[in-house]
Chain A
Amino acid sequence: MPKGIALDKQGRLKDRVAMTDTNLLLTITVVVFFILYLSAVFFLGGSFAKPQNFLNILNNNASLIVLSCGMSIVMITGGIDISVGAVTSLVCMVCAVNLEQQGGNMLTVILIGLGIGLAFGVVQGFLVAHLGIQPFIISLAGMFFAKGMTTIVSKEPIRVTNEGFLAVKDTRVIVPGLGSPNKLGVYIPAYVEVGVVIALLVVVLLFCMLRWTKLGRAFYAVGGNNQSANMLGINVRRTKFLAHVLCSLLAGLGGILYFLHVGSGDVANGAGDEMNAIASSIIGGTLLTGGVGNVVGTFFGVLSLNTIKRIVSSLGFDEAWWSNITVAGMLCLFLVIQSIVLLRKNTSKQ
């Protein structure tokens, strides 16, 4: 990655610059999110003002949060993985078949989800890290493989009726103090689904991992500059490999959460989620060139993306295609902002 930021002598300086990048981009994201949401509350009012509405963004996107965090980690190491949406779909379908036709239970669902994720991660990680193949090509192939496999497993949507599963699916975690009375004056407590709790836990864990563990710092070092990382004694290949494994594992977990949310296996599940995940990561301040990023930013990226989707649909553009165009527009905007920031920095250094 010819970032052209620092020569060898300035290694320390570079690290400091990179950290301020992270903070700057994170701040932009958080500010953008609050401006978006508050303006929605002020101008569109009504449904946006209700806490439950905000929690529903979380409920609907628990899996996307997990996917995006995995995507951010791969992007921090300078790679990309566009197979995550298709892996989500595959996990949902296999889990549905397992529950409905093979008498599985929650435990097998979790094992299947993580197993599929792990398998994709190991293969893709090996090909990317040890054979030096472009991650985009590999994960494109992975995406098509997962898509094809999903239809091979079952073409028809499968609705799950397994009781043990439905019990977990319908478990609601009450959030105290955020409920509101409905039209009849009955107090309805605000809730989140189980998936949201898991997703938030994942965000916190990954944040700590990226900030305070050796592996976490290695991700940044490898993404910032392969060769300097190598000279620092970091095993670059192993780090990249682990990043891909982690990403696909999180895609598997995201698949389980998606499955918990919708309760069915369907070819259309998770369609386009790889784009949403990449867009969320980029909006959240993860640089495509690697070395800069933060899962907290990614979390806010997911929220911003879905807030703007809701704003667009409540403005009356509720046809299905507007959602895609909005995502693409946001992606384009933030890509260009990033690119300008990077280009300006490069010219000022020279």
Chain B
Amino acid sequence: MTTPVKNPETQVKRPDESLFKRLTRQQLFIPVAALILLVLFNLIADPSFFAISVKENSLGNPVLSGNIISVLDNASELVILAIGMTLVTASSGGQDISVGATMAIAGSVILRMVCGNEVSANTMHMPLILAVLIGILVSMVFGAFNGTLVAYFKIQPMVATLIMFTAGRSIAAWINNNQLPIMNDITFKYAGTFLPGIPIPTPVFITALVILIFWLVLKFTTLGLYTQSVGINANSSRLNGLDPKLIKLLTYVILGVCVAIAGFIRVSRSGSINYSRIAENIEMDAILAVALGGNALSGGKFNIYGSILGAYVIQFLTTTLYKYDVPSTALPAYKAVVVILLVVLSAPVVREKLASMKKAPAKAAKEVS
């Protein structure tokens, strides 16, 4: 909190460092630096990482393939989640850890709708758009459930969402009677794979669309402003005529929409679902994306583009680790180390220590006391 006040002082003292300092104080510094590090690492270790080639997919369409395309493609769900998670973090000062489980629910609902009661359906029983809308609606209801617990019952967000984290995958299995429906209709898979004739994966377009919508919403509505003010001080925003509870609830419902879209992309990649494995550990990645984007996990001001960039960096890291044969089950251990490093570096105490290390000792002592 006190660091911004101290900036000018340090900059005056060491003018030769000012450019570097100004850079490091930029909110996007951490994700950009991480991205550059990863790119450099891959360039040095194996430049073929960046190769993009044109291949034919199983339908005979020419499509682009390569690690970069795979990063852009596979990051889609994460980017969409990170956007919603940023809003929730900003308004309530906590994170929703049930996103993976709710994605399973949304996916399960959508599959149930398009498959009817068949275990393996060849045609859709319902227009896809309607099924997706129902999925979004269900997901919004679960978002509202979380939001109500957080906003109206004042339960810590992570504990409130623990309920859905525990029950979500079970509810998803229950919706389909624990069967694993498979959708064979190729049009169902368009959203998760490729549209005919277009060589770029569809999820990339969906993500771009979602980002565009949020850009417009944040630009032309007061959502962003209200969210920040509630996150910074709920009481004074109430005195200024806002309804902090409603706004918190709203951010959770918005996250619900994001979760449903992400869940839809995930199920339409394969046309099937595995309740315990789908979107496993994605809540961790989403929180990590928000933190990596330079957003305070304790709420308040946010930068949605930081989170988006953070999400791509995480997917880049994941793809890089996969390339070096790290098994998917061991990935969480590596990511956990990254998370801990990040939160340690962004902890106020550490920042203050780092800042005071460069000052005169007497002044540092004064700051601490």
Q: Which residues of A are at the interface with B, using a C-beta cutoff of 8 A?
A: 80, 82, 127, 130-134, 136-138, 140-145, 147-149, 151-152, 155, 267, 272, 275, 278-279, 288, 319-325, 327-329, 331-332, 335-336, 339-340, 342-343
Contact = CB atoms under 8 A, between A and B. Distances in A.
A226 to B, nearest CB: 15
Contacts of A336: 149, 153
B297 A137 contact: yes
B212 interface: no
Nearest to B174: A321
Contacts of B278: none
A331 B166 contact: yes
Interface in B273-292: 281, 284, 287, 291
Contacts of A342: 154
Contacts of B348: 132
Contacts of A329: 167
B344 A131 contact: yes
Contact of B349 (A132, A141, A279): A132
B347 interface: yes
Nearest to B157: A136
A148 B155 contact: no
Contacts of A332: 149, 163
B339 interface: yes
Contacts of B47: none
- Interface centre among A136, A138, A279, by most chain B C-beta atoms within 10 angstroms, is A136
Contacts of B171: 321, 325
Given A133-B347, A137-B339, A324 B167 contact: yes
15 contacts: A133-B344, A134-B297, A141-B336, A141-B337, A141-B343, A142-B336, A144-B284, A152-B330, A155-B327, A288-B155, A321-B178, A324-B170, A327-B166, A328-B163, A335-B160
B153 A140 contact: no
Contacts of A134: 297-298
Interface string B134-154: 000000000000000100011
Contact of A133 (B153, B158, B169, B343): B343
Contacts of A144: 281, 284, 332-333, 335-336, 339
A151 B329 contact: yes
Given A80-B159, A152-B330, A335-B160, A140 B284 contact: yes
B205 interface: no
B334 interface: yes
What size tier do the contact residues of chain B reach?
35 or more
Contact of A145 (B164, B336, B349): B336
Contact of B166 (A141, A149, A275): A275
Contacts of A80: 158-159
Q: What are the 5 closest A-B residue pairs judged by CB atoms, nearest first?
A: A148-B333, A328-B167, A321-B170, A144-B332, A145-B336
- Interface centre among A131, A267, A319, A343, by most chain B C-beta atoms within 10 angstroms, is A131
Contacts, number: 131
A137 B154 CA distance: 19
Nearest to A148: B333
B316 interface: no
B340 interface: yes
A272 B97 contact: no
Contact of A132 (B174, B331, B347): B347
B156 A288 contact: yes
A80 B97 CA distance: 14
B209 interface: no
B123 to A, nearest CB: 29
Given A130-B349, A131-B349, A335 B336 contact: no
Given A148-B330, A321-B178, A336-B153, A137 B287 contact: yes
Contacts of B178: 319, 321
A155 B329 contact: yes
Contacts of B298: 134
Nearest to A335: B155
Contacts of B159: 80, 278, 288, 335
A307 B351 CA distance: 49
B59 to A, nearest CB: 35
Interface string B307-347: 00000000000000000000101111111110110011001
A343 to B, nearest CB: 7
B350 interface: yes
Given A321-B170, A325-B171, A332-B149, 13 more contacts: A134-B297, A137-B291, A140-B284, A141-B337, A141-B340, A144-B281, A145-B332, A148-B336, A272-B166, A278-B159, A279-B166, A328-B164, A339-B155
A127 B344 contact: yes
Contact of A275 (B165, B174, B339): B165
Contacts of B170: 320-325, 328
Nearest to B148: A336
B128 interface: no
Contacts of A145: 332-333, 336-337, 340
A300 to B, nearest CB: 20
Nearest to B153: A339
Interface string B168-180: 0111011000100
B350 to A, nearest CB: 6
